Amino acid sequence: MQRILVALDGSAESERILDEVLRVAPRDAAIDLLHVVPAFNQEIPGVGCNLEDLAGIYLESVAERLGNRKVRTTIWRGAPEEEIPRAARSFNADLLALTTHARRGVSHLLLGSVAEVVLRNSPVPVLMTRPGARIPKRPLRRILVPLDGTEGSGGVLDTASALAADHDAEMLLLQVVTPVVASIGPLGPPPASAPSLEEQVVHLVRRGLRARAVVAQGSPAEQILEQARKLKADLIAMATSGRKGISRILMGSVAEDVVRRMDRAVLLHRIAPRSEALQWSQEQHAPGSD
């Protein structure tokens, strides 16, 4: 978590994510504040400046409020849903952060549909919150990590482990058993070949992390939100397919439901298709990519 990209749309709602960023970011982490303006940089009548000028003034005012953090401001032109993931790649960000479900009107840029496209195309985990979500005043102390026993859902463990190590936070590995469709439920019992919840806890403890297993029964999304409240988790970290249409796996729909109803920050680790992951790896290791 050495570089965090924060997407802002100029509204107070979009700035809600800043409190969560300051909670999860190490003190020496670099924070990039990004605002995307329309590709057409039009002048505002009667003001004497254009949209890009106003965006620059806005970002500088936000940067000043972040105290002694290492902050850089950037303005890009284009469609936010395209430029935000592109910026994450360009800046080699470790984390992308934004507010979703902002109000309609002038601050619609990070509305749910845009955030969904950003998540689907983001090369890095995405930290999300929404207006009205609870923002604890305490440091990051507990991270709830729902797992379904698949390799994909376990991919979020690396990101959650890094955060836990930075903040000495406890990791709560959650398995939700769905009694009716346990064999196909998104958070049902793991396949026999997958590490058990207890084995994963032992592995984390051996790495010097604090971790414990939690098992609940019921609807996956309901139980994720309920257990987060019950256990006073500061953050929910989970995997999602990030796809749309019939290609979205069940885990993706659970993550979508959690984000739509979240009352605290959620960190989503997108499970990239194998072909996309290979392409990204090749780009990172191509001559001149540094």
198 vs 225: CA distance, rounded Å: 22
Domain 3-129 has CATH 3.40.50.620: yes
Could you state, in order of their start, the residue ranges of all structural domains in the chain? 3-129, 142-277
Digit-coded pLDDT (tens) for 194-219: 678 899 999 999 999 999 999 999 99
Q: Do domains 3-129 and 142-277 have the same CATH topology?
A: yes
5 vs 93: CA distance, rounded Å: 6
268 membership: H or E segment, kind and range: strand 266-270
Closest by CA to 273, choosing from 237, 242, 239, 238, is: 242
Closest by CA to 217, choosing from 247, 248, 167, 181, is: 181
pTM exceeds cut of 0.85: no
Digit-coded pLDDT (tens) for 124-159: 999 999 887 777 778 899 999 999 877 677 778 989
Digit-coded pLDDT (tens) for 63-103: 999 988 999 999 999 989 899 999 999 999 999 999 886 44
Helix locations, 26-167, DSSP H: 51-64, 80-90, 112-121, 151-154, 156-167
> Which one of 3.90.198.10, 1.20.1440.230, 3.40.50.620, 3.30.70.270 gives the CATH number of domain 142-277?
3.40.50.620
